[in-house]
Structure 1
């Protein structure tokens, strides 16, 4: 059980509620604040012109709504904007969206009745998720269309996900004993006017992006290990003179992962000691290819991009993002644009560019392992069968290459794709939900690419028969993945193996990741 108080929620709190499915309860003080804010709005709105209470919406805000139509206005808003299309958003994303919308209301500036926040808590705890579609929101009056589908379910209409199926909201509410929301003053506008769809999805993207980065560091370390690379490119001495925290953290993680490897070579021992200068052509490779040697410089900026995105997205998650703002403490109502999703849109674009680069690094490391002319160490395509007769990882490389190319196309920014709409009332928009959904696609693709690289690295380990010389951390990962993907020499369809490894990467924590994270941070601070 997670008790939500007036304290801001962290990404870890979000993860516990969304991924670990912890039940939610609300502190009494929060409910009292929401109730007080609602009561202020009811009293203040009498005989005043307030947008969305007694006016039309958007470009029709100049039209006054009669007293007897105020409640119908809110229902009309929800129903008319439930116009999404495309695929339904995954239930895990909807759970994140629900928590983001709940957290907005709990700030006590939206004028909603406490019944609304208690209903959202009920849906979270009973794992009932509104069916919300990918297409529709432009991210300027917020995620209007996506959030309208949330609101539609709350009033007992539309469909919901329940026990893995899409079912009628009315039917599920009846079975679970849930009473649909009653509109009191402005619950319709409050529900659909905000950034909670893009923010909930962005929070999930952050969790998965951080996991991807750790797997990428792990795989980069293993790739260096199986090719017996030199140790100086991830040394403290080389990396601490480049003053970027991400680079130093990635280097420290690699040092910790490979600390007791017997395969990583010392440049001093192999190139500086002994008589090497009598050779016209050096037997030892003097420097590795960039995909092996420049890992800290490539993954470092990705680490820092994720860190910056976390600051911005968590701040948005804990913000008030609807309009107008009901300020009972100052006894006033403020109109503006806190629903505008530019903060989220820009960070998601930056994040998807960074993750695309991560997938590109993985694809280059994969190519190095598969190309015998480059590595001069392994058989073509890590083929452990008969050359010419068998194909090894050849077919899997096509999938990795194709998927990285798709990532590169998706990485065109959404943030700069503003298209005016709503009779030009919304003349500059963020496209934030689109940005968040495309980022999720890039992250999912990247798990596929890293899974293919992982499968290839394992084949390399078995070709070398080197488990006795591996670092303890990389050996543990080898055993962990070999349990679900056995070594192979024959040609068989590998798509189910790929799916298993990908799902493992998406759901599991990298082996010893918390230990190496802590060690890396300590090393940088030192």
Structure 2
């Protein structure tokens, strides 16, 4: 069980909750803060004070005072009117992450919601019932208003949910669970939708997927290095220590360890003096992407524990301040950085695919074909990889450099962070397929070399890979192979960890 308190949620814990179905609980001290914050809101309402988000309109309507008898209706109108997301739905795991993160933010005790609201969010996570949320429509400032409004709809019994493997009307799922719909009170609608939880939830999934992908890329590139009889000297620890980047040194060590007992690996001067950059510079390129991931992780873990709604309530209600913590710029920049980092993993992978299939660049059968000329072999797989990396280049254009005014120019600078997070996810999906193509080609090349000559680690990966994708003995529909292997790679069905030990070159 993981206890949430609004302050120290980690990506490791998020992975356990989202994928491992870890049960969550609410920290009792955090619930005390929630109650104090709620008492402050109720005091403001009863005293007739005018405070943004409690008894005023929103955005450009912030100067409109709402009658006391309409305060509850204000919240319902807010979420209904703002629930106008469009496009494909976020994956269910992203919706689950969104609920966890919204709950964690409310537990900081600055938002003014009732305990029943946070308890309902907790129950949704533990019962695996998640809102159906369209992925398009957020500007990433005033928070993720449209996506989070679809989340808030579920609390009042409207909208749709993912439940027991199906999309169902919320009321249908509530009946099965014995839930009553909530009636949102003053401040609660705004507290639920004013935040960065859509981009951050998508960012969490992106980070988890990207972290696994860079580990896999070290393994698959090591397989390619062996199948092309690459030169291990370029991975000598002294070279990487001389530059000083820890991540670069780590990648070089991983490759040395994976290939340590290979009979295919060569030394400089044996077959050639130098390898092409796509082989020789694996530590430098993969290492740089790992540096980017470290930056992204730092920003995500701050944002996962941040109060991002507006206004925020401090000092037991004595201080209620309107600010801009809902602005997604920190995550927008992090997602744009992640896009570039993962796109480069795919770029260099595609170049290694070219070296595997191009008979002018190796001594293997052309395009790894079982019968060159009559059969095309892996020829068009390289086309697909090239297409995917080119698509990634367009997706990698930074979303955060764009802005457009909204709400009658009251909200005149926005982050586009959710767009950046969505595009990062697509880049990761594309990159996974490119790495899958590289692995298919590397396995085929290893068969020509003699799999018994490969390192014991690569033989283990090869054996697992061949359970998923058979040898190319005749041309077939390779689309299925690419998709199947990509799905296998995305399911953590291999131990990608490396037993740390430095191997002298």
Normalised by the shorter chain, which TM-score bucket?
A: over 0.9
How far residue 330 of structure 1 moved from its aligned partner, in angstroms, is: 7.4
Where in structure 2 are the equivalents of 1:279-294 lying within 5 Å?
Answer: 284-294=271-281
Superposition TM-score, scaled by structure 2 size: 0.96
Alpha-carbon distance in 1 for matches of 2:345, 2:149? 35
1:276 — aligned with what?
Answer: none
SS of the residue aligned with 1:373?
Answer: coil
2:43 — aligned with what?
Answer: 43
Alpha-carbon distance in 2 for matches of 1:37, 1:519? 52
Where in structure 2 are the equivalents of 1:189-228 lying within 5 Å?
Answer: 189-228=190-229
Deviates more, 1:177-186 or 1:324-333: 324-333
Q: Is the 8 A contact 1:232 1:238 kept in 2?
A: no
1:303 aligns with 2:286: no
1:515 — aligned with what?
Answer: 498
Superposition TM-score, scaled by structure 1 size: 0.93
1:382 aligns with 2:371: no
1:20 aligns with 2:13: no
2:310 — aligned with what?
Answer: 323
How far residue 181 of structure 1 moved from its aligned partner, in angstroms, is: 2.0
2:457 to 450, 473, 490: 473
Where in structure 2 are the equivalents of 1:89-488 lying within 5 Å?
Answer: 89-267=90-268, 270=269, 284-328=271-315, 331-375=318-362, 377-383=363-369, 385-465=370-450, 467-488=451-472
How far residue 155 of structure 1 moved from its aligned partner, in angstroms, is: 0.8
Q: Is the 8 A contact 1:128 1:161 kept in 2?
A: yes
The number of residue pairs the alignment matches comes to 502
Alpha-carbon distance in 2 for matches of 1:164, 1:442? 26
Q: Is the 8 A contact 2:90 2:135 kept in 1?
A: yes
Q: Is the 8 A contact 2:332 2:418 kept in 1?
A: yes
Alpha-carbon distance in 2 for matches of 1:10, 1:390? 51
1:274 — aligned with what?
Answer: none
Deviations 1:454-474 (A, max 9, x none): 111111111112x22222211
Alpha-carbon distance in 1 for matches of 2:149, 2:31? 24
1:54 — aligned with what?
Answer: 55
1:501 aligns with 2:485: yes
Alpha-carbon distance in 2 for matches of 1:331, 1:13? 34
Deviates more, 1:203-212 or 1:258-267: 258-267
How far residue 6 of structure 1 moved from its aligned partner, in angstroms, is: 5.7
Q: Is the 8 A contact 1:40 1:328 kept in 2?
A: no
How far residue 381 of structure 1 moved from its aligned partner, in angstroms, is: 0.9
How far residue 329 of structure 1 moved from its aligned partner, in angstroms, is: 5.0
Alpha-carbon distance in 2 for matches of 1:400, 1:450? 9
Q: Is the 8 A contact 1:415 1:431 kept in 2?
A: yes
Distance 1:120 1:503, change over 3 A: same
How far residue 510 of structure 1 moved from its aligned partner, in angstroms, is: 4.8
Alpha-carbon distance in 1 for matches of 2:189, 2:489? 40
Alpha-carbon distance in 1 for matches of 2:277, 2:251? 16
